Amino acid sequence: MSVSVAQKRMTREELPTGKVLCEYCTAKCCRYFALPIETPEEYKDFEYLRWYLLHDRASVFKEDDDWYLLVHTPCKHLRSDNLCGIYETRPQICREYTTDNCEYENDWTYEFYLETAEQVGEYTEAIIQPKGQSIRSRQPELLPVL
């Protein structure tokens, strides 16, 4: 009888001798990929970010001063038991990835994370004001004092 990942959750220190951490993981590393992108500086750069986030399952994050495009999509060879279906012929990047510093126990969040095109628009407006453009309405007239 197979045991679900939720039932087998343990810390790295509890890992039985001879076992592989991946056998107890939800395969976080196989459910997305992140690519470094140029640091946006101009309005048009932020428009590219907006365009990225108009696509399903994409987000942008910043770690330290580096920007990344994050694509939330599982590897097509990830099996239902969260193990690799092409382990013996997996790509080199997968071979080089080790469990020494993997995300197994990490439940952290990003300090800077954009999920929607609207968030990019608001952020862009907050830091860059394109000439002659604004999504803000004009300031209303003051109400009379009674």
User: 14-49, pLDDT tens digit by residue?
Assistant: 888 888 888 888 899 999 999 999 999 999 999 999
List of residues 6+ apart from 36 with CB closer than 8 A? 66, 67, 68
Residue 44 lies in a domain: yes
Instruction: Give the model's confidence band at 131: pLDDT under 50 very low, under 70 low, under 90 confident, else very high.
Output: low
Could you give the CA distance from residue 45 to residue 4 in angstroms, rounded to a whole number?
Answer: 44
Instruction: Copy the structure tokens of residue 41.
Output: 């500086």
Lowest-pLDDT range of 51-65, 69-83, 90-104: 90-104
Residue 47 lies in a domain: yes
Residue 1 lies in a domain: no
Instruction: Copy the structure tokens of residue 45.
Output: 């750069």
List of residues 6+ apart from 104 with CB closer than 8 A? 12, 21, 24, 25, 28
Residue 99 lies in a domain: yes
Reported as a single tens digit per residue, the pLDDT across 57-68 is 999 999 999 999
* Other beta carbons less than 10 A from residue 24's beta carbon: 20
For residue 57, the enclosing domain spans 20-126
In percent, how much of the chain has pLDDT > 90?
56
Residue 27 lies in a domain: yes
Residue 136 lies in a domain: no
